[in-house]
């Protein structure tokens, strides 16, 4: 599927795989392997951005995936986020969607929501929010209606 379909249908918190369709090179070819890893991976959908039209430039809609963190002694030093334009030539797949009972911790930036954390329960979300202070953060439950809409519309992750 295209990034445009992910942008329009995947809920925040979904696990998304992307690929350019080329086979993985052997790790001993470090430059080829690094280039392949930039075009093939998995990440959690944390933000969708609409297209923007400005007087001096325009940008297409995009999705942002959280691919991981690098930490030392329990402190996150670097967060890896990768943004993909909806006109990307990569192929995307929804690997997993949030399940009923999960809770999203969201923060609004410029009219769009960004996923800060996906918790297994409301209690876990409140505990995470107490430990990680964020101004204007809000909790949003993953509901049966949201999951049911995916089944009715045929958007079940394969």
CA-CA distance, 13 to 143, in Å (whole number)?
A: 13
pLDDT, one tens digit per residue, over 107-127 is 988 788 899 999 999 999 999
Better-predicted residue by pLDDT, 157 or 85: 85
DSSP helix, strand, coil percent of the chain (3-state; round to 5): 25, 40, 35
Q: Is the pLDDT of residue 148 over 70?
A: no
Instruction: Quickly count: other Cβ atoms within 10 Å of residue 10's Cβ.
Output: 23
What pLDDT does residue 41 have?
A: 92
Question: In the prediction, which pLDDT does 149 show?
Answer: 52
Structure tokens at 151: 């089944």
- Torsion angle in degrees (nearest 10) through CA of 83, 84, 86, 89: 170
Over residues 8-57, the pLDDT tens digits come to 889 999 999 999 999 999 989 999 999 998 899 999 999 999 988 888 98
Q: How far is CA 47 from CA 54, 113, 147, in A?
A: 21, 7, 19
Worst-scoring range by mean pLDDT, 29-33, 89-93, 124-128, 144-148?
A: 144-148
Share of residues in the chain with pLDDT > 90 (%):
59
Entry pTM: 0.82
Question: What span, in angstroms and rounded, lies between the C-alpha atoms of 102 and 124?
Answer: 9
Q: Looking up tokens 């089944």, which residue turns up?
A: 151
The pLDDT mean for the chain works out to 87
Q: What would the two tokens of residue 57 be?
A: 């430039």
Banded model confidence at residue 150, pLDDT cuts 50, 70, 90: low
- Under the banding of pLDDT at 50, 70 and 90, the label for residue 128 is very high
Q: Are 15 and 96 a contacting pair, CB within 8 Å?
A: yes
């Amino acid at each position: 599927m295209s990034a445009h379909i992910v942008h329009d249908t995947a809920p925040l918190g979904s696990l998304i795989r992307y690929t350019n369709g080329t086979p993985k090179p052997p790790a001993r070819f470090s430059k080829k392997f690094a280039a392949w890893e930039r075009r093939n991976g998995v990440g959690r959908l944390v933000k969708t951005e609409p297209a923007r039209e400005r007087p001096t430039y325009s940008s297409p809609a995009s999705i942002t995936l959280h691919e991981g963190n690098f930490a030392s002694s329990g402190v996150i030093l670097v967060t890896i986020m990768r943004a993909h334009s909806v006109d990307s030539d990569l192929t995307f797949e929804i690997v997993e969607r949030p399940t009923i009972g999960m809770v999203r911790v969201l923060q609004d930036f410029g009219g769009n929501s960004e996923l800060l954390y996906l918790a297994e329960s409301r209690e876990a979300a409140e505990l995470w929010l107490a430990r990680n202070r964020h101004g204007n953060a809000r909790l949003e439950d993953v509901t049966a209606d949201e999951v049911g809409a995916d089944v009715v519309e045929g958007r079940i992750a394969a």
